[in-house]
A and B are shown apart, each in its own frame.
Chain A
Amino acid sequence: MKILVAEDETIMLKTIDFRLKKDGYEVFLAEDGQKALEKIEELSPDLIITDIMMPYASGLEIVGFVRKNKEKRIPIIILSAMGQEDVVLEAFGLGADDYITKPFSPNELSVRVKRLLSVTGR
């Protein structure tokens, strides 16, 4: 299972990487929105975890792009410090599958990833 993580804070990126690898996934990292979009094309991941506030392209743009241009329904988890109601609604409106606000627990993230992959895997 390939997971793409897009996040501009290094510590976060490495921590999520570590946690998901422990769960046995293949993890790919992108430190800005542009690289994330490139990697989505290149790898066609099974799940995407993305921050919203990133350089070049926001996480919401990534959701919009994936839902518009990808036949395959890739589950997307938004992981952001932005907890405003309108942003959360917008994210779900664009087609995000889950929304986690920071501060978050890496263990919880791991559970949500597992659940999403099992739901769509079926």
Chain B
Amino acid sequence: MSWQQIIFGFFSYGILLYSLVLLAFYLFIALFAIGEIRHYLWANRFTDYRVLAVSSNAPGMSILAPAYNEAATVVENVRSLLSIHYNNLEVIIINDGSKDESLQKLIAEYDLHKVDFFVQERVATKKVRGVYKSANPVFHKLIVVDKENGGKADALNVGINIAGKPYIVCIDVDCILEQDALLKMAKPFLEEKGYRVIASGGVVRIANSCLIRNGRLEKVNLPDRFLPRVQTLEYIRAFLLGRMAWSRMNGLLLISGAFGAFEKEIVIACGGYNHKTVGEDMELVVRMRRYMEERKEPYKVTYIPDPLCWTEAPVSYKILGRQRNRWTRGTIETLRFHKIMFLNPRYRLLGMLSYPYWLFFELLAPIVEFAGIAGLLLSALFGFLNWSVFFALLGFIVSFGFLYSIFAILMEVLTYNQYKQSKDILRLVLTAILEPVLFHPFVVWSAIRGNIDLLRKKNSWGEMTRQGFVVKKNP
């Protein structure tokens, strides 16, 4: 037996085993998600959320929205945040040292004045320049904070220091929230299940091509362009299947930075957002969970599958590449900070399943895939490759991937059905077919680039230039 054979055999066995476990996970996630979503829909279909809106016992919530150079849309977005249905609410906009007119526009529009405000530094942050409130009593829920630029995590930490309510809701300022979003997010914190709910995640949906009027979603449309459309599919798959299944097992590690609610005291006890990583959203959840595990307190991170938050997805490969590159680096950094949990029974499901899953199947997947392709090319070169087996295997894997995507679309149709035309569903199916060729390789490549960049210690955030929503006046 030659050394090539040993290496090659090891290699193929490894990849085969890896693929089998991955396929098993996918099957398991799909099945688990069905049960969880069905239960959620059954339990909440007859819920009257307005009762919470009109109750004086609703828990207080602070919305934290960091804004950096958002002058184009910030006034409108604040207005839409202020019209959210929730009474015990404060809306905190953190101007993270914008270089444009964001702050001036807000001051002019909402009649803001600097107030005496003692900012308690419960989490260390960059310097706060001033706190503004409106002289118009109609906008008494609004607080605008001006601070020196320090990045998103730092801005959120300032928000945490200023927030006066027991729950914080962290969002991207350019997200569009449904008006009952907070009512739905608040519910899990009020339920009595014998554990403490420390955080609640929301779904993020893609708003490209949707009709937006005055900062509010008027009509949902499937994105016209391929790139946002394929991300729509990707988000449906991740949120409706993946997160749902993980939340059922209480193994959720990531709450999207675009929309999540947290118990403030625990966030502060953990030290707030970590500004040393570009994946601050995931890192916070992992740290909060670790904190609870180490104190052996029963807790849960819940997740709301209703489409409550809409955001614009990147439309160019360049910006998408930066975003994925950043996600990869964030994941690696987070897992590295908390490597003590890896296969550590002290952290129960978190250490034994969630962490290893993320390590092997979120983080390593692109690397394994990349290595697999490289190995394939090599073996073709050496003449090892049995082409008919190869094509059969490829065909099988690709059809499995399709089926998983189609299943996600089916779940969407049967639950929230945001895209009501048969035409749209067919376009999504077509997108699923094109994805392995036009989208997937690019995502893998961006992830590899993320790994490389991290090795080279690149720590910038990957600036995201925005295209702006389709704004139409009503006819």
Q: Is the CB of A56 within 8 A of B87?
A: no
B138→A82 contact, CB < 8 A: no
Chain A residue with Cβ nearest B218: A55
Query: What's the Cα separation between A63 and B139 when bound, in Å?
Result: 12
- Whether A81 and B56, one on each chain, are in contact in the complex, defined by CB atoms closer than 8 angstroms, is no
Q: How large is the interface on B (under 10, 10 to 19, 20 to 34, 35 or more residues)?
A: 10 to 19
Q: A56-B216, A81-B50 are in contact. Are A64 and B138 (CB under 8 A)?
A: yes
CB interface residues, B 23-54, toward A, < 8 Å = 50, 53-54
Specify the chain B residue showing the minimal Cβ separation from A61: B138
* CB-contacts of B73-114 with A (<8 A): 79-80, 82-83, 85, 87
B138 is contacted by which of A56, A83, A94 (Cβ under 8 Å)? Answer: A94
Question: Is A30 on the interface with B (CB-CB < 8 A)?
Answer: no
Q: Which residues of A contact B50 (CB under 8 A)?
A: 53, 81
Chain B residues in 8 Å Cβ range of A106: none
Tell me which of A80, A81, A85, A90 contacts B137 (CB under 8 A): A90
Judge whether B12 is part of the interface by a CB distance below 8 angstroms: no
Whether B216 lies near A85 (C-beta < 8 A) is: no
Q: Is the interface of B mostly helix, strand, loop or mixed?
A: loop
A57 at the interface (CB under 8 A from B): yes
Alpha-carbon gap, A62 to B261, bound state (A):
30
Q: Least Cβ distance of A108 to chain B in Å?
A: 19
Is A82 a contact partner of B53 (Cβ separation < 8 A)? yes
User: Using Cβ atoms and an 8 Å threshold, which residues of chain B touch A64?
Assistant: 136-138
Number of interface residues of A (CB under 8 A): 25
CB interface residues, A 66-115, toward B, < 8 Å:
68, 80-87, 90, 93-94
Chain B 119-150: CB-based contact to A (< 8 A → 1; otherwise 0): 00000000000000000111010000000000
A34 close to chain B: CB less than 8 A: yes
Q: Which of B53-76 contact A (CB under 8 A)?
A: 53-56
Interface string of B174-217 (1 = CB under 8 A from A): 00000100000000000000000000000000000000001010
Q: Are A85 and B83 in contact (CB under 8 A)?
A: no
- Nearest residue (CB) in A for B214 is A56
Residues of A within 8 A of B137 (CB): 64, 90, 93-94
A58 at the interface (CB under 8 A from B): yes
Looking at the complex, which one of B55, B83, B87, B140 makes contact with A57 (CB distance below 8 Å)?
Answer: B83
A94 to B139, CA, bound (A): 11
Besides A90-B140, A93-B137, 14 more A-B contacts (Cβ < 8 Å) are A53-B179, A56-B79, A58-B83, A61-B138, A63-B138, A64-B136, A64-B137, A65-B138, A68-B136, A81-B54, A82-B53, A82-B54, A86-B56, A94-B138
